[in-house]
Amino acid sequence: MAEAITRTGNLWSAHTADLASLGEKARLRSLAPRRGVDFASNDYLAMSSSPRLAAAVQDAIARGVPLGSGGSRLLRGNDPEHELLEDEAARFFGSESALFFSAGYAANVALLSTLPQRGDLIVYDELVHASMHEGLRLTRATAVSAAHNDAQSFDDAAREWRAKGNTGRVWLAFETLYSMDGDMAPVAEMARVAERHDAIMLIDEAHATGLFGPDGRGLAADLDGRPDTIVLRTCGKALGCEGALVLGPRVVRDFLVNRGRPFIFSTAPSPLVCAAVREALRILSDEPERREALRDLITHAERILAPHGAQATGSQILPLILHEDARTMAVAAALQGKGFDVRGIRPPTVPQGTSRLRISLTLNATQDDVDALGAALEHALQ
């Protein structure tokens, strides 16, 4: 037994040392169960517990819709529910086509590793999600970062690249609402940059879908249907389900089906989830009061929490930057001990020196809960 323990230690010594190093820096992660009032999730409209979604799944089961797809979409996994969802989503968002992925991470990896070609340029916002960075790691195109939410920086990068004689396609990759800062991109300005450079936009609407725009169609709703626009809209946040929809020209869908390895070689998402997402899209149209209630909660939270350092962003995400990793986690633990599920965020998820509490507002919390959080936060910060 002792020999086995020694051998295990030797086999995994580098990994053990790396974990120890993370612990010394107050950056060691661990899984924790959900408990306390929700100020951490992305279930912004509290739709994950909607009776309508539950009924939609029950109805699908009664119709004989299977839980598992049984294979990739290109084999036997292409259930009618997948195609129904994609048809309805394309109509809802005003796009020529839609393609459903199992997760937003896989969709972003597929988009950036598949669509831009060798000789192209990708200009990406410096704060884009890790899933975009993973796609950039796999791309054959040249990739350069632009200053956060700075359309001129994107424009300058494209101009400099063209000035060197490059003739490929320019791609602009950005999010419309950033999950760690809660701020919004200058979407209209970015569209003008795309027009000037005959560029294609890869837009991630993960944290805006369901909350902004007509019927919750997002901050980029006005761009849907344009030939230069591809939009990713996740279904596991405000829609309360899981998976992600890529919306854009039909040629994009066809190309991903033929060349997108994360799509081709993945088991298709559950057909039951497709039925739930279809109902979630209907709820966005039928129940605007959810968005109105969240807007009221945002206004209230900004008034209560801003005096304690939380940034008023106009969105459902209020970061409170505490800078130091250890202090961030200590304050988060104190709030959790008082019954509030607030999580600390540290590098590399956010830039060095910007560790923070990510206060996420959802309809799983009330204005009274926000008041109580404000009181607990005041005490914890002291």
164 is catalytic: no
**Domain final residue, candidates 226, 252, 285:** 285
175, 181, 279, 341: the catalytic one is 175
User: 118 and 226, same structural domain?
Assistant: yes
User: 293 and 277, same structural domain?
Assistant: no
Has residue 369 been placed in a domain? Answer: yes
- Domain of 113, CATH number, reads 3.40.640.10
User: 233 and 112, same structural domain?
Assistant: yes
User: 303 and 281, same structural domain?
Assistant: no
Q: What is the pLDDT of residue 4?
A: 65
Has residue 182 been placed in a domain? Answer: yes
15 is catalytic: no
If DSSP states are collapsed to H, E and C, what string results for the chain? CHHHHHHHHHHCHHHHHHHHHHHHCCCCCCCCCCCCEECCCCCCCCCCCCHHHHHHHHHHHHCCCCCCCCCECCCCCCCHHHHHHHHHHHHHHCCCEEEEECCHHHHHHHHHHHCCCCCCEEEEECCCCHHHHHHHHHCCCEEEEECCCCHHHHHHHHHHHHHCCCCCCEEEEEECECCCCCCECCHHHHHHHHHHCCCEEEEECCCCCCCCCHHHCCCCHHHCCCCCEEEEEECCCCCCCCCEEEEECHHHHHHHHHHCHHHHCCECCCHHHHHHHHHHHHHHHHCCHHHHHHHHHHHHHHHHHHHHCCCCCCCCEEEEEEECHHHHHHHHHHHHHCCEECEEECCCCCCCCCEEEEEECCCCCCHHHHHHHHHHHHHHHC
The pairing of strands 229-234 and 244-248 is antiparallel
Q: How many structural domains compose the chain?
A: 2
User: 293 and 274, same structural domain?
Assistant: no
38 is catalytic: no
Residue with tokens 């169960």: 33
338 is catalytic: no
**Domain final residue, candidates 285, 310, 333:** 285
User: 83 and 41, same structural domain?
Assistant: no
Tens-digit pLDDT string for the chain (382 aa): 666 666 666 899 999 999 999 998 888 888 888 889 999 999 999 999 999 999 999 999 999 999 999 999 999 999 999 999 999 999 999 999 999 999 999 999 999 999 999 999 999 999 999 999 999 999 999 999 999 999 999 999 999 999 999 999 999 999 999 999 999 999 999 999 999 999 999 999 999 999 999 999 999 999 999 999 999 999 999 999 999 999 999 999 999 999 999 999 999 999 999 999 999 999 999 999 999 999 999 999 999 999 999 999 999 999 999 999 999 999 999 999 999 999 999 999 999 999 999 999 999 999 999 999 999 999 999 8
Has residue 329 been placed in a domain? Answer: yes
Largest CA distance in the chain: 68
204, 279, 302, 341: the catalytic one is 204
79, 237, 279, 315: the catalytic one is 237
Q: What is the pLDDT of residue 1?
A: 64
Q: Which domain holds residue 187?
A: 65-285
In sequence order, the β-bridge partners of residue 244 are 101, 234
User: 206 and 304, same structural domain?
Assistant: no
pTM for this prediction: 0.93
Long-range Cβ pairs for the range 140-144 (8 Å, 24+):
140/116, 141/116, 141/117, 141/168, 141/171
* Neighbour tally for 91: CB within 10 Å: 11
**Domain final residue, candidates 250, 285, 320:** 285
38, 42, 82, 325: the catalytic one is 42
User: 348 and 324, same structural domain?
Assistant: yes
179 is catalytic: yes
Gap between the Cα atoms of 40 and 80, Å rounded: 35
Q: What is the pLDDT of residue 128?
A: 97
323 is catalytic: no
User: 161 and 109, same structural domain?
Assistant: yes
113, 153, 207, 302: the catalytic one is 207
Gap between the Cα atoms of 127 and 147, Å rounded: 8
42 is catalytic: yes
Has residue 93 been placed in a domain? Answer: yes
129, 270, 302, 315: the catalytic one is 129
User: 137 and 157, same structural domain?
Assistant: yes
